[in-house]
Each structure stands twice: as C-alpha cells, then as structure tokens.
Structure 1
Amino acid sequence: MVPYTNPVPSEQEKTTELVKNPEDVKWWLRPPRAPASTDLNSNTNAMRYLAGTCACRSCRLISGFEIQTWAFVPRWNIWFHIPSPSKPGSSVAAEESVVQLDFATLPSGILKSYESTPGILREFCPRCGATVFWHDRWRPDLIDVSVGLFDAQGGSRAEKWLDWWSERVSFVEDVTNGRSGESARRAKALVEALERGLRTRVEG
C-alpha cells in the first residue's frame, strides 16, 4: 500500500538511501469521489488522502485490536489548536494559538511519544491513551494519522476526506505472528473477511 519506504531496514540499508521516489509522486493524494476530470492521476484533482488498514503485530499490540486504520497526511497539513492558559478567576474565554505540527517544538503535555522500533515513533494522547500518529525518520514529513480520531460529517470512514485502499490489508502476513491455535485462526479469518469485504465493496 505504501511505496517508497522500507519501515524495517536492514543494517546495510541504514547506510544507504532508504526512500526512493525520484519522480516525487504524491501517492498519498487521491481524486475526489466525483472527479472533475477523467484523469484520476492528476494532482490537480487530488482532494483526498489515501487511507488503509493495517494488521501488523506492532499496531495490534499497541491499539489492542486486530485492525488499525491510518490516513497518510503531510505534516504541513496538520495543525494544533492550543488554548492559552486563562487567568485565575477570569470569565474571559482563553485564547488559542494555532501551530503546525513539529514534533521538535510541540508544547509539552499535548502528546506522548515513544520509539516502538528503532527509527519508528508513535504518539498517543496522554489523557485517554488514544493512538494519534505513526511516523518514521525515512519519510518524516508524511504522517500516519489514526482515522479513529476524525470527526467527519460523513461518518467513520470520512470518505469525503479519505480514499480507502481496497486491494489488501497491510501486513496481513503478520496476523498470526506471536500466537497460535484458535486465537491465530480467528484473527486470520477476521482479516481475510475484511479483505473480501473491501474488494466486494469496490467491485460492487
């Protein structure tokens, strides 16, 4: 689903160019549901972000569920509305500042971050524990955003904002990693059913 990146490079690859996208293809930009022209590959028609489903063991253990949904959003399109501290006893609503996502300068207390694999970082809400971001050092300006956080009028799939990848569930081969027996069988059946449903929905 995600070209031009290798999320778990070998030691040899770490010393070479890891991200190869020589034509600067904006693969994360997708056409609208009713495109203005027939050229679906034109960036001038790109109004949505690519989104997909992941079944890797790392996402599963962190989220506590079999499937994690991600949208691929450029960092410069992610902004935080941060309220300024209000004065004690004041009835005036606190003002807020709007800042672009920069992990190096983001005010403390907004997100918690940890490195789940060397070079790969995940952020979560320090209050409720919700998964927020996934990003790595090989494509630092393209962020995986947890779709469960979106508040879209169109519903949980947010299809006016997102174009869902339907050809496969990412890392489906990782579903049974670390487990066996009935647990592995049920997990595999769930992900296979999801893949069939995604294809059927598009073909239908």
Structure 2
Amino acid sequence: MSNIAKTSITSSCSCGLSTFSFSIPNELLPLPTYLCHCNTSRRISGALCTTYVDIPLKPGDPKPDLDSLTAYASSDILTRYFCPTCGTHLYLKYNSDGHLSVSTGSLDRTDGVVEFKGHMWISDTNDGGASDLIPSINETPLKRWASEALTSPELARGWKHTTPNPNKPTFPPPPAEKLHAHCHCNGVSFYISRPDTLSHVATSPFPDLLVPYHSSTSPANPTNTPWWLPTPTQYLAGTCACTSCRRSSGFEITWWAFVPAANISLSDSSPFERYFGTQTAYRSANHCVRTFCRVCGSTVFWDGDERPTIVDIAVGLLDAPEGARAEEWVRWCDKRVSFAELGRAGGFVKGLEEGLKRYGDERDEKEGTVDITT
C-alpha cells in the first residue's frame, strides 16, 4: 500500500490562517465536481455558482482545523466553514456522515486534480444563471440538471422559467425602482437604484475587464468615460479570474457588478456607507479592500482606493425577479474574463470566455445591437 502513487494537495485561505495538506491516490484523480447554482450557494458566496470536491480521507487521517474557522449551518444538511479574517470559503461538513468537501478555489492546483462535470440546481436561477455562460469545458459539453446532479431532469441551454412573474418590473423602469441585494443570513442587505445623473459623477480609470492590466495600453480615463454604464438603465457586470479574487472567495470565478456608491442605499433608505451590517473588511492588497459577511461568509464588495465612488458588488447577492444573471439590471461584458491570464483552472476559464462570447453574440443578434463595452 505504501507504494501507491499519490498527489499532494494543499488548501489555504487568502490570509494564510488556515492551511491543510492532504494526499490523494492518483487512481482517484481527477476528483469530480458539479457547479452548484442553488440559491444558498449564490447567497453564501456572492458568486453565480460554487464548486467543491470531496476530500477522500480514511479513518485516522489528519483533518483540517475547523475550530479556527467560522461555522455556518446553511441548511440541515451541512455546515460551511470560512476564514473569519479574509472570508475564504473552505469546507463543507455533511451532517449525515461527517465527510468533508473542500472549495476548488482554495486548492493550490486543479488541472489534473479536479474535473468539472456539469451544472446542478439550475432551476433555482430562473434564467439558467452561469450555466449558459459555461456550456462546455475543454470542448466537452457540460450536462445541466434541474436540481441534483445525475438524478434530476436535464435542462437545455437557454432554459428559463416560463411561468409569468407578477413581480417582474416593467422595462424601461420607473426612476424610483430599486433592486434588493442581500447575503444568505440577511446580515447585509441593501438596494441598488437605476442609473441617474449622479451615476455619471463617479470617476474611475478603466478596469482590467476592459483594458488588460498586463498590456501596454494605459487604463487612464482622462475624459472620464462612464464605462460602468453600458446602457442608460444597466450597470456593467463582469467576471474575474485573478488569484486574489479566487483565494479570497474560495471559488474559481468572481462575478462583479460595477455600481456607483451614489446608487446604493441601505435598507432604511439611508445613503451608502462603509461598512454596514455584518460586514468584515479585509485588505487583500495595498490598493483595495474586500468585504464579506462575518456570519454566513458571503462576499459583498470589492472597494478600490483608486475609485472610491464606484463599488464592485457580488452579483450572487442580487435578488432580480428575472433571474440570477439580473439581465434587466446589468449588462455582461462578453469580451474578456478579467485577469484570464492568471486563471489557474485553464480549461474552466477558457470555457467561460468561449461561453461569454457566444452569449454576447446571441444577445446582440437578438437585440440588433453592437455591444458598446467593446
């Protein structure tokens, strides 16, 4: 048994408080995972989907130190564990047998170790969520299940709930319309209003999403082009594969909407402030602060020192009646995954880039428009 070939894997949070190494027999690799789109996964992460793999521990094997982490029982099925300092979601512990799963974004590698096999719990999204944006990985189509993987009905790409929603807003909307956003425990709750004259007062250089940081093009925005307003009624939304986002969230991709602070209000209608409710702030780099809910661990904001008038909001918190992608409130940038060159799960990021392009082409053809975020 001692001659069995194994691969050593390390899971760690962004700040380094929690680190756990374990070995997996090569014959068990790659470990399968399914992208979960359920309401709970989105609310506890701020992402449009989450991914975990089971840790194949045997009796007597060392286990991660869960006592140093914050525990959150998101259901009667399992408890989630995240870092109380940086907010990285790390582990799931199942009540049935105590087995552990680890978030794929916290692992030091995924290529050859993790296999993304399909999408599950799409029915919770109302509009297909991120499953329409990641239809395949490594040129292999991903299956799509309504609820549990393998056992529930499969759904076609482009699926949406067909039952009319009486709460669906009119479009174009009245000026007073607001969109609710909240984490799973509701310790962080706020509203977003539609773009208005104050939205144009915000200032910001161009983000990596539009002007790649690792290029010769300057991100300076001397004329203050309002890149965060791709249409009069929508905010720009995008995806990020950078190491900092991955390690701070615990998941491969973060999903951000760029919203002026002037268009964010608290549940009591008071203006936006830093930082309200159950948020904890973590300075993940010398130029930015990330916040997460200290109760349920959900990513909430990315707040850059160079653009204090615009805040990145985790899209998984948005409670849009039309669906998880919140398409009547945000317009997804389909030209690039931010910091794609840093994406550690190469096939995953490439699949997202290809899916975004297809999604954007289909959207523009349907609208008869050209994407102005180009």
Common fold: TM-score over 0.5: yes
Displacement of 1:21 after TM fit?
A: 2.5
Fraction of identical pairs, as percent? 43
Secondary structure of 1:200's aligned partner: helix
Q: Where does residue 121 of structure 1 map in the other structure?
A: 289
Return the letter of the residue paired with 1:196.
E
Question: In structure 2, how many angstroms separate the alpha carbons of the residues matched to 1:193 and 1:19?
Answer: 26
Is the 2:206–2:227 contact (alpha carbons within 8 Å) kept by the matching residues of 1?
no
Q: Where does residue 68 of structure 1 map in the other structure?
A: 254
Is the 1:52–1:164 contact (alpha carbons within 8 Å) kept by the matching residues of 2?
yes
Q: Which has the larger radius of gyration?
A: 2
Unaligned runs of 5+ in 2: 1-203, 209-217, 363-374
Displacement of 1:30 after TM fit?
A: 1.8
Q: Where does residue 145 of structure 1 map in the other structure?
A: 313
Is 1:194 matched with 2:365? no
> Given the superposition, is the C-alpha separation of residues 194 and 133 from structure 1 closer, same or farther in structure 2, using an over 3 Å criterion?
same
1:37-186 to structure 2, matched below 5 A, reads: 46-81=232-267, 97-103=268-274, 106-107=275-276, 109-176=277-344
Is the 2:205–2:224 contact (alpha carbons within 8 Å) kept by the matching residues of 1?
no
Question: In structure 1, how many angstroms separate the alpha carbons of the residues matched to 2:207 and 2:240?
Answer: 15
Secondary structure of 2:338's aligned partner: coil
Q: Where does residue 22 of structure 1 map in the other structure?
A: 222
Is the 1:51–1:69 contact (alpha carbons within 8 Å) kept by the matching residues of 2?
yes
Q: Where does residue 162 of structure 2 map in the other structure?
A: none
Count of residues paired in the alignment: 150
Displacement of 1:79 after TM fit?
A: 1.1
Question: In structure 1, how many angstroms separate the alpha carbons of the residues matched to 2:360 and 2:306?
Answer: 32
> Given the superposition, is the C-alpha separation of residues 168 and 6 from structure 1 closer, same or farther in structure 2, using an over 3 Å criterion?
closer
Return the letter of the residue paired with 2:312.
D
Displacement of 1:5 after TM fit?
A: 4.8
Is the 2:256–2:314 contact (alpha carbons within 8 Å) kept by the matching residues of 1?
yes
Return the letter of the residue paired with 1:74.
P
1:136-180 alpha-carbon deviations (Å, 9 max, x no partner): 11100100000000000110100000000001111011113xxxx
Is the 1:52–1:165 contact (alpha carbons within 8 Å) kept by the matching residues of 2?
yes
Question: In structure 1, how many angstroms separate the alpha carbons of the residues matched to 2:355 and 2:253?
Answer: 14
Question: In structure 2, how many angstroms separate the alpha carbons of the residues matched to 1:163 and 1:6?
Answer: 15
Secondary structure of 1:99's aligned partner: coil
Question: In structure 2, how many angstroms separate the alpha carbons of the residues matched to 1:19 and 1:65?
Answer: 27
Question: In structure 2, how many angstroms separate the alpha carbons of the residues matched to 1:114 and 1:71?
Answer: 19
What TM-score does the superposition give when structure 2 sets the normalisation length?
Answer: 0.38
